[in-house]
A and B are shown apart, each in its own frame.
Chain A
Amino acid sequence: MAQGITQLAPGLISFLKSLKTTPADPSVEHLISLLKRRQIRNSRPCAIATTALMLRVVGEFKGRDAAKLVERIRQVGRRLTAAQPREVVVGNIVRRVLGLVREVLDDNTGDSHTGSDAGHNTPTHHDSMTRPTLSSSISTFSPLRHAAAEPMDASMTSEMSDSSEFNRRPPLLTSHTSYAPTTSAPLVNSLFGLFSQPDDSNASTPTGAASPDGKSAHSLNLERLADLSRSTNIDLKSEVMDGIRELQDELEQSDEQIAGVALEHIHSNEIILTHTASTTVQKFLLSAAKKRKFTVVHAETYPHDNTATHGILLTGRKRETRLDEDEDPWKPLTAAGIPVYVIPDSHVFAIMSRVNKVILATHTVLANGGLVAAAGAHMIAKAAKEHRTPVVVLSGVYKLSPVYPFDIDELIEYGDAGRVVPYEDGEFVDKVDVEHPLYDYVPADLVDLYITNLGGHAPSYLYRIVADHYHTEDITL
């Protein structure tokens, strides 16, 4: 039995198993090597692995202050994303965890000091709406205004003078901050914040002459932070871990939640075109198949995903993610009575005139509403546009990334050219430059609807969901 475990092929399952017994640092190394060797690939396994690792990292974190925790998470996150920058999901999860820490802190700040202010008890971060109320009750130079806007940074700059990472953040208005804050932009998180920003920069401009008022505020602040770190350290870790567990639940449930709205989008006798092997799409279609009869046309994404596609069609699951063999036996669509037609990718245009709806799986969704999906997605979406066929993209929120596609080529991964032309054909491979892009960038205007676990959204709305899930200061890890 023990041998059976050691002989497990390296991958997500073996990583999760080893994570139970290995401490955080070797686990980080382990995940980095797995990511580098592409033994864990695709969004979901990467997300699951990263979340599990984050849980471990936070769980093992020993220390008394949040800044060190944030720094630790960032450092792990930086290394993970450097290992495989194109698995954007890894960075997303790290940012979500960082956001969790900030939220917990935010909550506690609100609890311990502005308990009367109801706006701060809610877990919404950066709620700039509440700022005017706050500043009206306290003097204009009060550091609490910063605490409300950037409570994390406020607490950290004063506590963590050794952390160089935070020195560039807008500091507290204290007499010892003699440099001008360089980044007041991250303060602006939403439209509402726009109007209070100039006020902030005014307030944080070091005047040199600190008023007595400012001094008293400073001492008040130190007192408050000392108080804060004492009170939060006890539950900071456990609260963050709870948050990570919630994140794990979200990962687990996002497919079901997306599948839950399937009946709203698929009507009877529809012809649906999809491509590549995706568990999300599979579950979505299966859930619709319980009530409706429709036809699925599946483009196989040759050459890099065709075996997985065939696998998911025949057995209902991807071959690499065979997590728990016996429980929850997945059924292929055909077992649910849905006729499935496999077509090569070249047939997409010919068949599009008969297709009612295109459902795409995705690798990453970008903040501008575009997406990175398996190669071929662009031409499918384009052909759908040409035929005025609606394109629906299914994606868990965890795939939504704050990245903007300024350099599209950077996001595209190139695969093994041997899958296109086998290396046995040495003469050919020698003379001809064989290329094998794995992903396509699909611009936002080709997509009609995004369905996430939060519901359906127009592509133009995605930036807002990004703003709700990631803190601006975490966008660069």
Chain B
Amino acid sequence: PQQQAKKESTRGQKNLGLFFGHLYSQPRQHSMVGASKDVHPAVLALGLQYSSYVICGSTARMVAMLLAFKAVIESYQTPVGTSLARHLTNHHLSPQIDYLRSCRPLSISMGNAIRWLKDLIIKIDPSTPEAEAKRDLVEEIDMFIRERVTAAQKLIRDQAATKILPGDVILTYASSSIVEQTLLQAHKAGVPFTVIVVDSKPLFEGKTLARKLANQGITVRYYLITGASHAVKDASKVFLGAHAMMSNGRLYSRVGTALVSMLARSHSLPVLVLCESVKFTEKVALDSIVGNEVAPASEILSEAERASLLPLEPHLPATHPSKNKAEDKHAADDA
């Protein structure tokens, strides 16, 4: 399988050069094969959940990572002759992070959390007993999650829910946990409003959101991105989730967000982005091509679509073995 993967990646290098060739650095890991023996089982499991999109969304991924790191830290034992502060980050945490990165590129929020954690570990006084240091670390991680995620989200949804007025039609793209919480909070507060969910392939995250909202009794309409220009006509406000906020004020979010906000702007709709401060980055971006995340092209073609292509095979000219190249990226930049 490794050989095959290598072959695939060299071919990928060759023919995916149009837009995102520079982003295909390493083939994506879909198994535990080849993982370093130091990688903790919790992290191994997490990596697979990342690559199969079971855990998806930058906040969820960051929280899951920190929880896995708690397990890593708890089972960590400083080897003789080194100190925890020196050894843990470089020799024990790094392979875990590398493995996670090979499963799916790190999100901005994950990068921020990792930087914070490393900083924390380095600052531990070498004289602190190991057990105490580990306990402190685990506590700090819990605190981080509570402060930067739980409390932040509560604050955001309290604020954002007040923006939803009776009779509003809220349009949202794909799925964002914080948008979902906001909508549910406003619904619980008794504000009558309806929701339009715009979604796109291949993950159809919006479907999950639409289902959850509908189960709570909110009227939901569901469009795919091709119908977005019809969807915005009826909307009165747009709520978007974020992957990251760039320091030049641009939103970095899942691909298609820019289209939705462009259409919203042309209809003069207010576009609200709900974003925790842990997602802020000092990076800047002008377009979505220089820096982005790419996924294997095979993910775009659903099994049903692949099957429907099979009858076409006899029509293929014999010379070209592969011509249906596809490009996938999971984030788009919003001007």
Contacts and interface: CB of A to CB of B under 8 A. Distances in A.
Interface of A: 271, 295, 297, 301-304, 306-307, 310-311, 313-315, 319, 331-332, 334-335, 339-351, 353-354, 374-376, 378-379, 382-383, 386, 412, 420-421, 427-428, 431-437, 440
A350 B332 contact: yes
A314 B262 contact: no
B13 interface: no
B207 A428 contact: yes
Nearest to A305: B226
A433 B323 contact: no
Contact of A314 (B220, B289, B309): B309
A428 B259 contact: no
B258 A350 contact: yes
A433 B289 CA distance: 35
A320 B121 CA distance: 64
A342 B288 CA distance: 18
Given A350-B289, A354-B19, A431-B220, A412 B230 contact: yes
B18 A339 contact: yes
A301 B226 contact: yes
- By secondary structure, the B interface counts as mixed
A354 B327 contact: no
Interface of B: 15, 18-19, 197, 200-202, 207, 210-211, 214-215, 219-231, 255-256, 258-259, 262-263, 266, 287-289, 292, 300, 305, 308-309, 312, 315-317, 319-320, 323-329, 332-333, 335
A78 to B, nearest CB: 29
A350 B305 contact: no
Residue of B223, B227, B228 ringed by the most chain A CB atoms within 10 A: B227
Nearest to B199: A420
Contact of B325 (A310, A335, A342): A342
A302 B224 contact: yes
A28 B24 CA distance: 57
Contacts of A374: 226
A310 B201 contact: no
Contact of B327 (A331, A343, A379): A343
Given A301-B226, A433-B220, A435-B230, A310 B211 contact: no
Contacts of B292: 350
Nearest to A297: B18
23 contacts: A301-B226, A302-B200, A313-B323, A314-B323, A341-B326, A341-B327, A344-B328, A345-B225, A346-B256, A347-B256, A347-B332, A348-B259, A350-B292, A351-B19, A375-B230, A412-B230, A420-B223, A421-B222, A431-B214, A431-B215, A435-B221, A435-B222, A435-B223
A476 B185 CA distance: 53
A334 B320 contact: yes
A302 B214 CA distance: 24
A297 to B, nearest CB: 8
Nearest to B333: A350
Contacts of B219: 433
A307 B326 contact: no
Nearest to B255: A346
Contacts of B15: 339
Contacts of A347: 255-256, 327-329, 332
A346 B266 contact: no
A340 B289 contact: no
Contacts of B329: 347, 350
Residue of A348, A350, A374, A435 ringed by the most chain B CB atoms within 10 A: A350
Residue of B207, B258, B263 ringed by the most chain A CB atoms within 10 A: B258
Nearest to B229: A378
B202 A344 contact: yes
A427 B220 CA distance: 13
Contacts of B328: 344, 347
Contact of B224 (A348, A378, A386, A436): A436
A339 B317 contact: no
Contacts of A342: 300, 324-326
A310 B219 CA distance: 35
Nearest to B223: A435
B219 to A, nearest CB: 7
Contact of B200 (A341, A344, A386, A436): A344
Nearest to A417: B222
A310 B222 contact: no
Given A311-B312, A350-B255, A432 B220 contact: yes
